[in-house]
């Protein structure tokens, strides 16, 4: 920990020089949430937020390693900022998931020696100390420890939105899907204590937040490891119970969660969703593949039939439910027949939203060692075929929205037209609409959908 005197010294230096920070975040919402905590720590140290990289004296890259393209983008970015460093005082820090891979740390040290600080997913909270070393002792810092770090509570946080907030409920993953690097870089599952989560949500509600998203690699196994190890001595010891407790907090009007795993989608969670109106009617249910053979080789622990049966059960028990999903095409050994099974599930389920990924080989995972990798060309062709099917479904689904009414939380001004407001339907579709005289950001308004623009709708606020 930094001594008070050191913090004061650094803060004075930062403020007297009017230094600013800029954070570039790659990857998922968990990383976004980490970046909000990084921003909180930096602002506490005296940095102000810069609008862009050129104006900043402290650049943070919060990395992702789930797919190869995020790595390539990172290296491009660090290469670009080298020249900025020649022109002014500039500290460069690279952190997050990719830095948990030893080879990546070596690559940064060798090819980008001007990077000042490297931190991992479990050392983010040391950033103020790391900055002190760079500023006071002119040292380079490599602060990465192995996975399974403890949970740090009460870090300061600077949130990106004033109405909608992410709340991480658990860290890590125990599932070891054979394509996925996450369990290797984020460590084993660890759940935050319910009282800490509820405290955070209460605090958000008191500060005007209306919408929260509960985050974790596998949210519906909340407290599972702790339960199995007999470490739970409080009442809220499952995801379903956490949902009820969060929903009781006054002021919070909408609750989302990502990502659940189909194999852990227990009946108590389905019941909780059906009973709690505040929970979004769109649930993310990652499919990954529609082929039972591929699913087995992915170690997903469900078959095509089990997935479809779960969908049927959820549809039956939760009125107006819609689903979104993740699908990977081109997993090693995926045949045309396997891929047809994926298309078949997409035709049957009518997903509201599909996040499509081309399989990306991740060193260290089981699937990376397979010799039957699918040729790039075939992967791309399958991706295009899936995309075509998905887009035709989007068109079909969107038409059903015209003329329907939705209660929408006003999130802010539209990025493309500052005269318009924007929000999302319960099913996560963006809606852009004209303001009415007395409405404000954070209000919930009734909006009628009037125009379909494929990836967003136009609407009108009802009187
Ligand atoms: N290649 C492609 N997609 C992947 N995902 C995870 N690992 C890989 C990989 N190696 C996808 C999965 C997951 C989402 C967050 O990223 O679909 O649900
Ligand atoms: Fe990766 Fe599977 Fe864990 Fe999700 S559940 S983070 S895909 S290993």
Please give the average per-residue pLDDT across 192-218, as a whole number: 96
Report residue 89's pLDDT band, with 50, 70 and 90 as the boundaries.
confident
Q: Is 287 in the pocket of ligand 2 (CB under 6 A)?
A: no
Beta strands in 52-156 (DSSP E): 58-63, 91-96, 117-119, 141-143
Q: Is 194 in the pocket of ligand 2 (CB under 6 A)?
A: no
Query: Which residue lies with its CA nearest to atom 14 of ligand 1?
Result: 326
Out of 66, 168, 178, 183, give the residue to mutate to test ligand 2, the one with the largest number of ligand atoms within 8 Å of its CB.
183
CA of 420 to the centre of ligand 2 (A): 38
Query: Which residue lies with its CA nearest to atom 17 of ligand 1?
Result: 326
Ligand 1 atom closest to 259 (CA): 18
Number of Cβ within a 10 Å radius of residue 445: 19
Instruction: Answer yes or no: are the C-beta atoms of 239 and 219 closer than 8 Å.
Output: yes
Instruction: Answer yes or no: are the C-beta atoms of 285 and 349 closer than 8 Å.
Output: no
Query: Which residue lies with its CA nearest to atom 1 of ligand 2?
Result: 180
Q: Is 176 in the pocket of ligand 2 (CB under 6 A)?
A: yes
Q: Could you tell me where the DSSP H helices lie in 318-420?
A: 336-349, 376-399
Ligand 1 atom closest to 362 (CA): 10
Which tens digits make up the pLDDT trace of 378-429? 999 999 999 999 999 988 889 989 999 998 989 889 988 889 999 998 778 8
Residue 243: pLDDT over 80 = yes
Q: Is 220 in the pocket of ligand 2 (CB under 6 A)?
A: no
Out of 181, 219, 299, 326, give the residue to mutate to test ligand 1, the one with the largest number of ligand atoms within 8 Å of its CB.
326
> What is the reported pLDDT for 3?
73
Q: Is the pTM of this model over 0.85?
A: yes
Point out which residues pair with 61 in neighbouring strands.
24, 94
Instruction: Answer yes or no: are the C-beta atoms of 179 and 164 closer than 8 Å.
Output: no
> What is the reported pLDDT for 154?
75
Ligand at minimal distance from the CA of 69 is 1
Ligand 1 atom closest to 179 (CA): 10
Would you say the CATH fold of 310-398 matches that of 4-143? no
Ligand at minimal distance from the CA of 29 is 1
> What is the reported pLDDT for 44?
92
The answer to whether the Cα torsion of 424, 430, 435, 436 is positive or negative is negative
Pairing assessment for the beta strands 405-409 and 353-358 based on DSSP bridges: unpaired
The topology under which CATH files domain 4-143 is Rossmann fold (3.40.50)
Reported CATH class of domain 405-461 = mainly beta
Out of 66, 69, 370, 376, give the residue to mutate to test ligand 1, the one with the largest number of ligand atoms within 8 Å of its CB.
66
Report residue 148's pLDDT band, with 50, 70 and 90 as the boundaries.
low
Out of 28, 71, 101, 180, give the residue to mutate to test ligand 1, the one with the largest number of ligand atoms within 8 Å of its CB.
180
Cα angle vertex 252, ends 249, 253, to 5°?
125
Query: Which residue lies with its CA nearest to atom 13 of ligand 1?
Result: 326
Residues 6+ apart with CB under 8 A from 453: none
Q: Is 410 in the pocket of ligand 2 (CB under 6 A)?
A: no
Ligand at minimal distance from the CA of 64 is 1
> What is the reported pLDDT for 367?
98
Reported CATH class of domain 310-398 = alpha beta
> What is the reported pLDDT for 147?
58
Query: Which residue lies with its CA nearest to atom 6 of ligand 1?
Result: 180
Residue 149: pLDDT over 70 = no
- Of residues 346 and 150, which shows the higher confidence score? 346
Domain boundaries along the sequence of the chain: 4-143, 161-280, 310-398, 405-461
Ligand 2 atom closest to 173 (CA): 3
Pocket, ligand 1, Cβ cutoff 6 A: 66-67, 179-180, 286, 288, 326, 328, 357, 359-360, 362
Query: Which residue lies with its CA nearest to atom 7 of ligand 1?
Result: 180
CA of 300 to the centre of ligand 2 (A): 9
Select the CATH number that applies to the domain covering 161-280 from these four: 3.30.750.210, 1.10.569.10, 3.40.50.300, 3.40.630.30.
3.30.750.210
Alpha-carbon distance of 76 to 351, in angstroms, equals 34
Best CA proximity match to 446, nearest among 455, 457, 456, 459: 459
Which tens digits make up the pLDDT trace of 293-351? 999 999 999 999 999 999 999 999 999 899 999 999 999 999 999 999 999 999 999 89
The region of weakest confidence among 19-23, 51-55, 229-233 is: 229-233
């Amino acid at each position: 920990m930094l001594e008070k005197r050191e913090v004061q010294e650094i803060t004075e230096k930062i403020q007297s020089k009017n230094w600013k920070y800029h954070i570039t975040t790659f990857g998922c919402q968990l990383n976004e949430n980490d970046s909000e905590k990084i921003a909180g720590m930096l602002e506490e140290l005296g940095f102000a937020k810069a609008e862009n990289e050129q104006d900043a004296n402290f650049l943070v890259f919060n990395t992702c390693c789930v797919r190869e393209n995020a790595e390539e983008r990172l290296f491009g970015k660090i290469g670009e900022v080298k020249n900025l460093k020649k022109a002014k005082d500039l500290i460069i820090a690279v952190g997050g998931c990719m830095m948990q891979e030893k080879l990546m740390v070596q690559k940064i040290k060798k090819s980008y020696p001007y990077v000042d600080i490297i931190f991992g997913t479990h050392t983010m909270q040391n950033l103020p100390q790391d900055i002190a070393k760079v500023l006071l002792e002119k040292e380079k810092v490599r602060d990465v420890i192995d996975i399974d770090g403890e949970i740090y509570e009460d870090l300061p946080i600077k949130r990106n939105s004033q109405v909608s907030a992410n709340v991480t409920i658990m860290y890590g993953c125990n599932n070891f899907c054979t394509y996925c690097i996450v369990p290797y870089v984020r460590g084993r599952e660890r759940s935050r204590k319910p009282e800490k989560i509820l405290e955070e949500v209460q605090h958000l509600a008191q500060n005007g937040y209306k919408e929260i998203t509960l985050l974790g690699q596998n949210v519906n196994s909340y407290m599972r490891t702790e339960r199995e190890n007999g470490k739970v001595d409080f009442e809220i010891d499952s995801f379903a119970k956490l949902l009820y407790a969060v929903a009781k907090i006054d002021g919070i009007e909408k609750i989302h969660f990502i990502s659940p795993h189909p194999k852990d989608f227990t009946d108590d969670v389905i019941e909780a969703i059906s009973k709690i109106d505040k929970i979004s009617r769109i649930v993310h249910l990652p499919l990954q593949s529609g082929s039972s053979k591929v699913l087995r080789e992915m170690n997903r622990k469900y078959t095509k039939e089990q997935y479809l049966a779960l969908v049927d059960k959820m549809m039956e028990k939760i009125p107006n439910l819609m689903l979104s999903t993740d699908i990977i095409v081109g997993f090693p050994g995926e045949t045309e027949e396997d891929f047809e099974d994926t298309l078949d599930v997409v035709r049957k389920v009518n997903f509201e939203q599909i996040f499509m990924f081309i399989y990306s080989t991740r060193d260290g995972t089981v699937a990376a060692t397979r010799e039957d990798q699918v040729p790039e060309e075939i992967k791309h062709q399958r991706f295009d075929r899936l995309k075509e099917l998905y887009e035709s479904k989007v068109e079909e689904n969107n038409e059903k929205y015209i003329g329907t009414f939705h209660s929408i939380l006003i999130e802010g001004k539209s990025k493309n037209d500052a005269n318009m407001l924007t929000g999302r339907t319960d099913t996560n579709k963006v809606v852009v609409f004209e303001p009415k005289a007395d409405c404000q950001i954070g209000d919930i308004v009734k909006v009628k959908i009037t125009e379909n623009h494929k990836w967003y709708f136009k609407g009108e606020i009802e009187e």
